[in-house]
Each structure stands twice: as C-alpha cells, then as structure tokens.
Structure 1
Amino acid sequence: MKDERYDKYPEVRVKGFDNHAWRGWSVVQRAVAECLPKQHKTVLVIDCYPGVRLDELHQQLICGLNPALIINAETARHSEESLHDLLADNLTDDRVFGVLSCHQLPAFFCPDRLAALQREVEAVTAGLVVVYGPGAALVHPGDRLIYADLARWEIQQRFRSGEAGNWGANNQQEDILRRYKRAFFIEWRVFDRHKTSLLRRADFLLDTNQQNDPALVNGVALRHGLEQTVQQPFRVVPFFDPGVWGGQWMKDKFNLDASQPNYAWGFDCVPEENSLLLRFGDVRLEIPSQDLVLLYPRPLLGEKVHARFGAEFPIRFDFLDTVGGQNLSFQVHPLTEYIQQHFGMHYTQDESYYLLEAEPGAEVYLGIKTGIDPQEMLNDLASAQRGEKAFADEKFVNRFPARKHDHFLIPAGTVHCAGAGTVVLEISATPYIFTFKLWDWGRLGMDGLPRPVHLEHGAQVIDWQRDTQWVTRHLVNQVEPVAEGDGWREERTGLHEREFIETRRHWFCKPVTHHTQGGVNVLNLIEGHEALVESPNQAFEPFVVRYAETFIVPAAVGEYRISPYGSSVGQQLATIKAWVRG
C-alpha cells in the first residue's frame, strides 16, 4: 500500500520574516531595485554558483535595472585549455575518481583581465554598475551583494539533460561520470570556499533552481532562518534515482513517479547534495543544505565533531532498493590511508546495511570465505572483468540471510553487496563516491555503457582477514542491550570499532528521552507509522516524523523526546540513531 504521508518536500517555517522573500522575476526585480541606494554611483554584485543560468539572470533581472554598465565576470576567467592544464593533476585520466582540489577561486581568473574589469568599474562615475557571474565578487565587493545559488542535485539534472557542462568547459556531451567527477573534486569545493564568506554578508540570496521561477530572500532573514534550523529537528529534501539494479519498493511506498523503470537510490540525508526548504510566509526558498553546514557548523555538528571534520557533515543515510530488482555491484571501500594518499580525502566510507525490508530468501554478501586463495579470487575477478566468464561469487564470498531489522556492519576493506529483494537503510560516513566495484554481474549502465569496475584499486584495499568466522563474530547483528525503562528499551547495534559512527536502536511504545550530548544526531523511524519529536522545555515546535523518514537533530538541541503519535499510539515503534563517537 502506498504511504502518501511520506513527506518528499519537508520545510522549515521561519518565524518572524514573512515579508522578507519574493517569488517571480518581476517581483524579484522590484525588490532588488528598491534596495539599491539612491546615491550617485552604486555597484551591484551578483555572484553565482556554477550552473546558474546566466542568460536568464541577465535578461530577466539585470537588464530591467537599467544599469549604466554591465560586466560578466566570466570574461576574466582563464581559457578552457588553461583551466585544463591547471586542473590536470586533480582531474586524472580515471573516469570516476579524481583528487580533491585545494584551489582558491582567484586561481581560475587572469589577474590582468580582472584588473581591467576593476578599472572599468572605477571609471563609471554615476549610475548603476552590475557585475555578475561566478566570481563576480573578485571584481568588486559590491555596494549591494546578491548570491545566486543552486542545489547540487539540480546541477546534476542539468548535466544529464545535456544543458550544462562544467564551469569553464564546453563539455556538455562528455561522459556524465567525468562531468560529475570534475564538479565533485574541483568546482563544488572551490565555490563552497568562495561562497561561505559571501553568504555571511550577502544582502540577498537568489534561489535559481527552477527555470523562470526564482525566489529571493533578504540576507538577514536567510541567516535568521538558518540559525533557527540549527536549534530544532529538521529534514533535508530527499531525492531518488533509478539504477540498473533498482527496485520497486520506494516507488510504491513513497508515491514516486510511476513512469520510471525503478528507483535504486533514495538520498534522505546527504547534506552536501540535498536541498533545504525554508518557508518565509507564502514564499518557499530552496537552497543547498550544505549552506547550513558551511555557515553554522558548530551548533549543527557540535564542538567535537566540528573540530574533527570541519564544516563537513560526516554522517549519511540513504536507501538502496532491490525489491523486484537485482544485486548491487560487488564492491569494497578504500582504507583510510588509501583514500588519503590517492584522492585527498581525510576519512573513508565506512558504512553499514540496516534492513528496512527483506523478501523471503534475501541475502547480503559480506566478507570472503575462510580458506580461499586471495590471488585466485583476484584472477577470477580479472577474468570476469575481461568478459571471459562470470565471477564465481559462490566460491569466494559469504552470503548471509537478510531479514527485516538485521544490521550488517561494513568497515572499509570488507567486500560486500546487498542482494535482490532488500530495502537497505545505508548508514555510512560521507565521502560519497568512493566505491570500488569489483564485479557488476556483467551489466551495462542506464546509459548503455559498461559500468566502471575498479579492480586495480579494490585489489589494494581488500582486507583478506575478513573471512567467514571474523565477519560472523564482528559484523553481523552485533546487538547489545544498553538500557530500558517504562515502555522502551535501547540496543547498541554497532558500528565496528574501526568505524567512527555509533548506532543505537530504540524500541518504544511510550515516550523515550534522548540527548545529543553535544554532537549531531541522525535518526530514522524504522518501525511504526509516525512519531512526535518534542522539546521537554518547549525550545522548538513539535516535529512529526513518519515511517522511513530520516531527520537531523542538531547538537545545539540537547535534550529531546520521541513519542508514538497519531495512529501509532499504543503500538511498538523503533528508531535507529547515529552519531559520531567521542
């Protein structure tokens, strides 16, 4: 049965700023015009995240302001060839993996051309000057500053449609994986550094996610909304994606687009790529939830987590749906030293599989069989990669029965995959794309191309000690009772000691009290229809969460209480909670 109550567009309603946001180009243009000083000369800077439609911005907003001078900052950017030379070491020849960039945005611009644009601005003695485009604040700080923002998921949709290439590259027809790689390893890193200081002082933020339907919010109101968000439980906007192995459970349960062949992934808490919806009166604003992490990391993450990870959200929750689908790729994640030395990441993708649903006979592949010859397995994988044969997984890899509420722990270096007939809540660290596929069952991708296999990387990180006995003893359903009270009990379910994430499951039919203990909590309602999250001292508005919804409780919240709600009153519910170990 479809659960149409799963909220695909969760909002944070911002208090006290109902009249500080506007929607639609004509209204946005009027709001911007009214804020411009009536002095002799005004410089309006509209800096942009890469992927913003600059032609639309120019035609629908800038021209209507009747400026004396319009400057596109991109005219000072280095040529495509120069950028490629600058970034070659970060891009690498690999289709999927690059090296994280430490560049600052000025490195992408020609100093002489920037200086020439700055002289043009100085030469104007009266009227309005508009400088716009990515890097516009490098030309002038602005008497008024607008930041035009865009969510990463929307950027990816523009990549896929062929509308957009990478910033400074005419590569709309290039392999989508290579375009994503360039954005992930370079562009998004550079522009997140650039925009952080701008968002702290911007007069306005412009939401450019919907074509010809922008939203504008006053900068003070925006920052107030973000400050409010880190004082209460909230959800980011989930997004869902088909895949070659994808299933049908999420499509039905979450009332998703029935025309899609399947849904493989559901990203319900990946703040670097999800959006955050803020409502100001009648106007709903969509911003990258990463903006919250960048601007308010300490109250969101907590002091210890921020000290360890910086302005990065280290916990990821997502869904993997193979009900009516196929096995995931057989894979392994890099060890910490490997990801540091080869890709510039400072922590790796440790993870776990929590089974939300499982059909009869479902299995999880985890670890190698005791006594196998590692080189024989690698040779077999290499033969499979060359198309000579299918990988003999039954000879080399353990299969464990998978049932609802089982929890399988997967520290880096452990070979694994979820089999068909499962819905996995994947609880993991967040380096995102660092999965080394070892075997993909001979499939092509959704684009008709062979899916990339990285046996050369995987062979160097497989931990051959993760055999049948070790995995059974350390990684399968490591449930330990922790505490219990009136109508509730708490269990520790992992993760392994090599992983920095702690997980606890609470079964309850009466209210149960939690505390962030100074660190961010991420939870999912894994059993029951709906629950109520409240503050014992009314510090935030009561927050309703429904089955399978992931929600974030910022470190600053402190104590909170979760109770059965609505039709779930009198029934047994369960949550799974994750946080960073101290």
Structure 2
Amino acid sequence: MSHYELAPEIKIKQFEGVWSDYRTIANKLIKVVKDETKSRTILAIECYPGVRNEEFEKHLIPLLAPKKIIFADDIAMDGTEITEMVKRTLTDDRVFGVMSHYELDEFFPKEKVKAVQEEIATTEGLIVIYGTGATVIAEPDILVYADLARWEIQCRYRSGEIGNWKMENYEEDALRKYKRGFFFEWRTADRHKKKYFDKIDFLLDTNVGNEPKMVSGTDFRQALRQVASAPFRVVPYFDASVWGGQWMKERFNLDPEAENYGWAFDGVPEENSLYLRFGDVKIEVPSINVVFQHPNELLGPKVHSRFGTEFPIRFDYLDTVGGGNLSLQVHPSVEYIQDKFGRQYTQDESYYILDAQEDSTVYLGVKEGTTKEELMADLEKAAKGNYRFQDEKYINVFPVKKHDHILIPAGTIHCSGPNTVVLEISASQYIFTFKLWDWDRVGLDGLPRPVHLEHGRENLQMNRDTKWVKENLINQFEILKDENGVKTERTGLHELEFIETQRHWFEDKVTLETHDSVNMLNLVEGTEVVVESVDDSFEPFEVHYGETFIVPECVKKYTIRNTSTDSNQKVAVIQAFVRNL
C-alpha cells in the first residue's frame, strides 16, 4: 500500500491567532477598526481575480456595518474596454498569448477613481472597499488580502462558475479563459500583490466556498519565512486526460471511480499551493508566494539573479498506463519564445521513466533522411482530417524501461507512448507546447485539441535525427561517485538545457549539496526516506515513494536517510538543480 501523501501540510511553529467563519472574522476586524480610533477608517479587501466577491457581500460586509461600501470592480473599465486594451496580449489564438506587463491601476480610469476618493474624503466612519483593485481606489488603514490557488481558479473556469475578471464569459471555452488568466490577469494580479505583501494586515483564504480562514499578515509572512528555510512539499493535484492513465490511481490512492488520471502536478510552484497548519486551522495559499517573498533563501541568489521571482524547475507526472500516446509535440527555442511570447527561457525537458511495461516506448527525433517539407506536408494533411499521420514513417520510436532517462532539449520532436509512467523534469514554462499531431482525438471538453503547425515548423530541429538522438538524448549516464554504499550518476539534462539532474542510489544514507540552487527531488525507488539537517536547522522531513519535494538553496547541505520498510532495500532519489553556468 502506497503512503503517498495527497495533502501535505506544513506545521507553523509560531503564530498569534487564526480565525475561521465569517462571523468570527468580522468580529476580529471590527475590533481592529475600533482600535484605529479614527473618525474615518478605510478597510480594503483586495481580491485575487476569481475570488467569490458575492460571499463578502452576503456574509462578511453586512456584519461590519460600514458607513460606505465600494466595489472596486465597478470602478474599473468594463470587460470590452479591457479586452480592446490588451488585445495584443490575448491574440486570436485559442491557447497562446503574449506575457503582459500591465499594472492593475491602468484599468481604473483616473477620473472615476478621483470621484470615488472625493466621496471617501467626505464620509465619516468605516468605509469598506472590496474586489480586485481595492487598493487602487484608496490607500487602506487596514488591508485584508483575499488569495486564491491557481488550480482552484482553473476548476472554477471549467465548471462555468466564473468568467474572467470583468467578463461574463462563463460558458466560454475553458482554454480561452485559462489563456486570459495566464497571460494577462495573473501576471497583473501577481505584480500588484508583490507591491502590497509587506502591508497585508490579514491574509484571507477563500479557496473553499463559505469556509473562509484568516491569519494575520505578520503570521502569514513568518509562515512563508519558515517554509523557505526547510524541505517542503507543495499540494499535488491530479487531472484527467485524453491519453490515460490508470497507474496513479493505485499507487497514489486516488479515486478508483475516476475514469483516468493522466496528469499529476506535484512540483509546479506557480500552479500548486501550500497547506499551512496554524493550530487547528489549515490555510491554503499559492506556493508561488514563497518565491515572491523569499527568492534568495528559496532559489538562491544566483538563481534569483538569473530568473527573478520565477521558480525555474518543474516536476509532473504523465500516466499513459491503460491509455494512449501523448500528443506529438515540440517546444520553442529560447529566441522564439522571447520574440513571440515574451518569456525569458523555454521549456527544455526530459522524461524520467518511473515505471514501464514491455511495450513502453517514446517517440524521439526524426528518422534519418526526413525533410521538414515532407514531414510538415503530412502533418498539415492530417490536420485537415480524414487522414492518419504516418508517425513511424518519420519519427523514431524507442523502447524504454524503468529508470531510463530521456532528454528532450527544445526543438526535438517527441512524445510518450502508451503504458508508461513519466516523471517529467523540465523548465517551468507550463503551456508552451506546440502540438503537431494528436492521433485524431478530441479533448475531454469534446472540442478538437488544438495543434500549432506553424509554430512547430519554426522550431523543429531536423538535425535531431536517429543517430544524434541515440548519441545525445537516451540514458546519458555518467557515474560521479560509487563508494561507501552510495552511487551517484549524472543523468542529464542535455548540455543545451540549464537544469542538471543527478540520481543517487544508496542503502543507508547520502549527503547532498544544493549546488547554489534550489533543489527539486523525487523518491523514484524505495518506500520511504527522511531528509535530515546536518546542523539541526530543520526537523526531519519524511518522504514517500513518488513524492516530489523541494529543498531551499539556503539549506546548503542535507542528508537523506533510507527508512524503507525493508532496511536492506536500495533506494534512489533524483535531484534537479539549476546549473551554475
């Protein structure tokens, strides 16, 4: 039986107080307002896009009995105006936009803001401003920040519960809503959030409907400081796919009634969240908040200086056991992603084969003699329908087995075949995958899955052929150390990629260094290990098979001890970090 932890929590050691349910939260805020002893007090509830404002209107604000209520969203431009303003960011594409650099206040007409501020200046008593942009309207005396996990936003998009900010596009294609969030709304909201992090008086968790939880800003910031000082896990989430899979259901104790789980995100801090345990109350916050607040401690100064407040490494699972192939795809070059989409770096990646069956395969690189013209002509013919792309005529298919490591630098055509469990280790670019062929499938939403042949054409590296792939991308293992019961191998990634991966086999324990970078690791063999401090700076941290965990750069050195049920069982962890180029 797997001990994979589906809801890992971080126990916060020191905090002053935590409040749950709207009445308790309102009573706390009322007390704070009274302590202000001012004739006019402005309480702002700044909301991440996607937060349920109607809950505040119904359950919180009436309890506060304010003299004046202002909904910030009413002061902002309407959705049509915003769409026109950001149309170059959104583009006409269903999936891809251009990374925006807008500030939130750009969407609030100055004359409307000024008029509201004049009203505020003539009002005595408590004034409550709530919604996205509440802090644009006025500088608050008390700031409550209502935060929301990225995955929860996506679920609300899919269900049709919400549209995008200032839009009534509830029934619009979820991919288009996600695109608007990813390229525009979340960038703008994160930029604004970072400005106010140190001014937050209370952090409000709004992830579960009508079950709010609140903690003081001081305790929230202290909690993030604690997270950035020791090993931790983010909260994984699992999603169905058109290609599979059944393996994770059994191994990770997922819902056996679900049709499949093709995806698992267990190491994507921009997408995942954290469970922070304050006594009896669990607070959920986006894990990217730790990166925003403590980039030097978490990422390391060198990685921070290179990537800013982005977490550059991503671990996720692709499960095709009992399913089909992934889409045939390619990732953009750095130059292309910078020019077309405004990103700093590209989605270089690799497939670590966590489990495999006799027929497990990967598609990787083009066959000798293939030309881009004939390959693209066949892909374009297939995209028009009524024709099956002749995949094995053009693309290499290699058998794979458990613990193989397949390197996939940008520009290499690739995909996983059926009956394979892939631990995907890649740079964190999230959605920059150009699908070229998808085996005539439609998505789970019933719509044809989008392909991007023109983007693909510009990025396919035709020199990644059979010979080159065999010599450069398949199991490029180099033994770095094999002594005292520890075998350490460099397994990748390719020299064109900025991530290095090392695999450590051991029976008792291994001591690792962070290499001036945040570390992301996964227990790929064995049932259980414990991560221990070499200087008692953090408590022992338990990890189970298949769990991804993060070690902040500030830890510098740490030990992993084998605590598997069979003490003679050799275990293995794979460690990823940013190369110090």
**Paired residues of 1:491 and 1:505 also in contact (CA < 8 A):** yes
Identical-residue share of aligned pairs (%): 53
Residue of structure 2 equivalent to 1:248: 246
Secondary structure at 2:187 match in 1: helix
Residue of structure 2 equivalent to 1:328: 326
Secondary structure at 1:459 match in 2: helix
Shift of 1:25: 1.5
Shift of 1:485: 3.0
Residue of structure 2 equivalent to 1:202: 200
Residue of structure 2 equivalent to 1:112: 111
How does the TM-score come out when normalised to structure 2? 0.98
**Unmatched segments (≥5 aa) in structure 1:** none
**Unmatched segments (≥5 aa) in structure 2:** none
Give the aligned residue type for 1:83.
I
Deviation readout 1:207-262 (Å, 9 max, x if unpaired) = 00000001101111111111011110000000000011021011111111222210
**Paired residues of 1:276 and 1:288 also in contact (CA < 8 A):** yes
Does residue 27 of structure 2 align to residue 30 of structure 1?
yes
Q: Give, in whole Å, the separation in 2 of the partners of 1:246 and 1:335.
A: 29
Deviation readout 1:170-200 (Å, 9 max, x if unpaired) = 1111111110000000000000000112122
Aligned pair count reads 578
Q: Give, in whole Å, the separation in 1 of the partners of 2:409 and 2:317.
A: 18
**Paired residues of 2:242 and 2:444 also in contact (CA < 8 A):** yes
Q: Note the 1:305-316 alignment, pairs <5 A.
A: 305-316=303-314
Q: Give, in whole Å, the separation in 2 of the partners of 1:399 and 1:56.
A: 53
Does residue 5 of structure 2 align to residue 20 of structure 1?
no
**Paired residues of 1:530 and 1:568 also in contact (CA < 8 A):** no
The answer to which of 389-398 and 183-192 deviates more is 389-398
Give the aligned residue type for 2:452.
H
Secondary structure at 1:269 match in 2: coil
Give the aligned residue type for 2:421.
V
Residue of structure 1 equivalent to 2:100: 101
Q: Give, in whole Å, the separation in 1 of the partners of 2:254 and 2:323.
A: 16
Give the aligned residue type for 2:129.
V
Secondary structure at 1:453 match in 2: coil
Shift of 1:568: 4.3
Give the aligned residue type for 2:302.
K
Of residues 140, 144, 147, the one that matches 1:146 is: 144
Q: Note the 1:428-507 alignment, pairs <5 A.
A: 428-507=426-505
Shift of 1:24: 1.5
Does residue 562 of structure 2 align to residue 564 of structure 1?
yes
Residue of structure 2 equivalent to 1:56: 55
**Paired residues of 1:200 and 1:295 also in contact (CA < 8 A):** no
Q: Give, in whole Å, the separation in 1 of the partners of 2:387 and 2:128.
A: 62
The answer to which of 544-553 and 114-123 deviates more is 114-123
The answer to which of 509-518 and 491-500 deviates more is 509-518
Residue of structure 2 equivalent to 1:166: 164
Q: Give, in whole Å, the separation in 1 of the partners of 2:89 and 2:501.
A: 35
Residue of structure 2 equivalent to 1:263: 261
Q: Give, in whole Å, the separation in 1 of the partners of 2:82 and 2:14.
A: 45
Shift of 1:484: 2.7
Residue of structure 2 equivalent to 1:291: 289
Shift of 1:540: 0.2
**Paired residues of 1:564 and 1:570 also in contact (CA < 8 A):** no
Secondary structure at 1:192 match in 2: helix
Secondary structure at 1:408 match in 2: strand
Give the aligned residue type for 1:469.
K
CA RMSD of aligned residues (A): 0.9
Shift of 1:75: 1.3
Secondary structure at 2:186 match in 1: helix
Residue of structure 2 equivalent to 1:393: 391
Shift of 1:566: 4.5
Q: Give, in whole Å, the separation in 2 of the partners of 1:239 and 1:333.
A: 24
**Paired residues of 2:371 and 2:462 also in contact (CA < 8 A):** no
Shift of 1:34: 1.9
Shift of 1:570: 2.3
Deviation readout 1:491-518 (Å, 9 max, x if unpaired) = 0001111100000000010111011132
**Paired residues of 1:267 and 1:317 also in contact (CA < 8 A):** yes
Deviation readout 1:354-400 (Å, 9 max, x if unpaired) = 00000112100000001123211111111111113111111110011
Secondary structure at 1:30 match in 2: helix
Q: Give, in whole Å, the separation in 2 of the partners of 1:259 and 1:77.
A: 44
Q: Give, in whole Å, the separation in 2 of the partners of 1:31 and 1:547.
A: 43
Q: Give, in whole Å, the separation in 2 of the partners of 1:221 and 1:448.
A: 45
Deviation readout 1:512-535 (Å, 9 max, x if unpaired) = 101113210000000000000000
Of residues 237, 262, 278, the one that matches 1:280 is: 278
Does residue 184 of structure 2 align to residue 192 of structure 1?
no
Q: Give, in whole Å, the separation in 2 of the partners of 1:501 and 1:338.
A: 20
Q: Give, in whole Å, the separation in 1 of the partners of 2:523 and 2:237.
A: 18
How does the TM-score come out when normalised to structure 1? 0.98
Secondary structure at 1:489 match in 2: strand
Q: Note the 1:505-516 alignment, pairs <5 A.
A: 505-516=503-514
Residue of structure 2 equivalent to 1:80: 79
Shift of 1:7: 0.5
Deviation readout 1:52-104 (Å, 9 max, x if unpaired) = 10010122111101111111111110122211110111111100000010111
Deviation readout 1:301-337 (Å, 9 max, x if unpaired) = 0001000000000000000000001000000001111
Give the aligned residue type for 2:64.
L
Q: Give, in whole Å, the separation in 1 of the partners of 2:507 and 2:537.
A: 24
Q: Give, in whole Å, the separation in 1 of the partners of 2:141 and 2:548.
A: 41
Shift >3 Å, 4+ stretches = none
Deviation readout 1:549-568 (Å, 9 max, x if unpaired) = 00000011111000101414
Give the aligned residue type for 2:97.
G
**Paired residues of 2:330 and 2:413 also in contact (CA < 8 A):** yes
Q: Give, in whole Å, the separation in 1 of the partners of 2:165 and 2:202.
A: 23
